[in-house]
Amino acid sequence: MTGIRTDRTAHAHASVVHLSDEALVAQIARGDDAALGALYDRFGRVVYALALRMLRDSQLAEEATQEVFLAVWRAAGEYRASLGSARTWVLTIAHRRAVDRVRHEHRRVSANEPLDEVAEHQLGDPAESAEDEAWVVFERERLTRALGQIPDAEREVIELAYFDGYTQSELADRLGLPLGTVKRRTFTGLRRLRTLLEADR
Amino acid sequence: MTKPSPHLDDELLVALAFGEIDEPRRSEIDAHLDGCAECRREYVDLLDTLGTLAYAAPPAVPPADLRADIIDAARGSADAPTHAESAARRRLAWPVWFPRVALAGGLAALAVAVGLVVVTTSDATRSVALQGTSGTVLVSAHRAALAPSGFAPAPTGRTYEMWIIRRGVARPAGLFGSGTSFAAVTVPVDAGDVFAVTTEPAGGSLQPTSVPIARARI
């Protein structure tokens, strides 16, 4: 019996790494900083990579990443499972933060703009650098395949809106298209992407 | 099933998903979403697809001390530097051309990146399809993780629990909820181990109390 009790205690005190994303967010809402660390371990890299892609500056990407996880820390109690998974919630916060910076600091830069030297050293294939990034690589390959299969016109509006932070009306101006067309392309493209991603699971 | 008001159209959902709707319209839409499961599902699907796009960004490794800086800042300790300050100090201490040495948390992957060439000792990751319920087990050396895809929400008061079975002994290997994209297997694995998933009472069990609904040989 003693052995079992010891096991149970160990189980109850086990680290939070085995928790679902949603359970981690619930723990964070209770002020558990170990849960925040575990959430960072799952999403820190993708949040940082997204910020670096959008801001093209390692310093700004670091600040944006820190803001995202502090926003998660403060707002965890407001997370509602009815509005999507915890992963989607974190990645939505990450995207909005980076978009805000792009729009308010007029840092809309092309993906071809050179990175600063620090960022150059941070870029690399996570599959090659860390075993725990297996999921990131898995997700990335699946996404790249799916993006390659949607019509160019749809991919273009999605990428410009998502990675470069253009609003739908800015896109209409830039592409010389009616606003309704831009919105429809974005919606249809995202639908198509979703179907492809689900089929590829 | 009565609907609270006409459904939100696709264009509005797109604008909403990109955060382009401001108050007071935003509150009206939120109220509609609260009451309309159909629009909510459509909106959640859009957000989820957009979120997945983040993984298309070129992979990048954040500075190793960003994690600690974030946790310090979260704890709100008065003496914790903000990340920007410590990043500035680090830059003074480490010339940017200095090769970055990354040691993945607790894992044996040691990678030395020189320029953009990455030399690594980590093994390739392989994936094993689950039997019974759809999903993929990713295995890299002695680590594994589950990417569940076909798991319905666990019944109220129950959770999914992973197990690693070796020589007839099942070891608890972590819990996950529905909707999770990725669950780390919390114990080391070896080729030949059996991975299984059961539903267990909330909080998990020390031994499986139900028949596995998914399994795979690693």
Task: Tell me the chain A residues in contact with residue B67 when contact means C-beta distances shorter than 8 Å.
Answer: 37, 40-41, 44
Q: How far is CA B48 from CA A111, B52, B180, in A?
A: 24, 6, 12
Report residue A129's pLDDT band, with 50, 70 and 90 as the boundaries: very low
B99-136 residue pLDDT tens = 222 222 222 222 222 222 222 324 467 888 888 888 88
Q: For B147-161, how does the pLDDT look when each residue is reduced to its tens digit (9 = 90+)?
A: 888 888 888 888 899
Q: Which residues contact B8 (CB under 8 A, 6 or more apart)?
A: B16, B29, B32, B33, B36, B39, B42, B43
CA distance B78 to chain A (A): 15
**Could you state, in order of their start, the residue ranges of all structural domains in chain B?**
10-56, 66-120, 125-217
**Between A9 and A97, the higher pLDDT residue:** A97
Residue A150: what pLDDT?
96
Return the CATH class of domain B125-217: mainly beta
Segment A35-61 shows an average pLDDT of 92
Contact state of B184 with A193 under an 8 Å Cβ cutoff: no
Nearest chain B Cα distance for residue A46, angstroms: 6
Closest to B204 in 3D by CA, of A68, A191, A59, A14: A14
Q: What is the pLDDT of residue A70?
A: 94
Q: Residue B132, class by beta-carbon neighbours within 10 Å (0-12 exposed, 13-18 middle, 19+ buried)?
A: middle
B49, B54, B96 member nearest A50 (Cβ): B54
Contact A146, A200 (CB under 8 A): yes
pTM of the model: 0.63
Sign of CA dihedral B205, B206, B212, B213: positive
B positions 152-171 inside 8 Å of A (CB): none
Instruction: Please name the residue of chain B whose CA is at the shortest distance from the CA of residue A67.
Output: B70
Mean per-residue pLDDT for B66-92? 61
Residue A44's pLDDT band (boundaries 50, 70, 90)?
Answer: very high
Mean confidence (pLDDT) of chain B? 73
Contact call for residues A169 and A179 (beta carbons, < 8 A)? yes
Q: Tell me the nearest-neighbour CA distance from A23 into chain B, angstroms.
A: 8
A18–B184 C-beta distance less than 8 A? yes
pLDDT-derived band at A135, boundaries 50, 70, 90: low
Domains and CATH numbers, chain A: 16-118 (1.10.1740.10), 129-201 (1.10.10.10)
In terms of residues, how long is chain A?
201
For chain A, percent of residues with pLDDT exceeding 90: 53
Among B22, B38, B45, B61, the strongest candidate for a mutation testing the A interface, having the largest count of A CBs within 10 A, is B61
- Using a pLDDT cut of 90, give the percent of chain B over it: 15
Q: What DSSP string runs through B52-88?
A: HHGGGSPPBPPPTTHHHHHHHHHHT-TTPPPHHHHHH
ipTM of predicted assembly, 2 dp: 0.84
Residue from the list B15, B62, B99 with its beta carbon closest to the beta carbon of A62? B62
Per-residue pLDDT at A127 exceeds 80: no
Question: DSSP label at B60?
Answer: B
- pLDDT exceeds 50 at position B188: yes
Of A83, A124, A158, the CB nearest to B61: A124
Name the more confident of A103 and A75: A75
Q: B14 and chain A: CB distance < 8 Å anywhere?
A: yes
Residue A113 has pLDDT above 70, yes or no: no
What would the pLDDT profile of A144-184 be if each residue is shown by its tens digit?
A: 899 999 999 999 999 999 999 999 999 999 999 999 999 99
Q: Which residues of A touch B171 (CB under 8 A)?
A: none
- B24-57, pLDDT tens digit by residue? 888 888 889 888 889 999 999 999 999 999 999 9
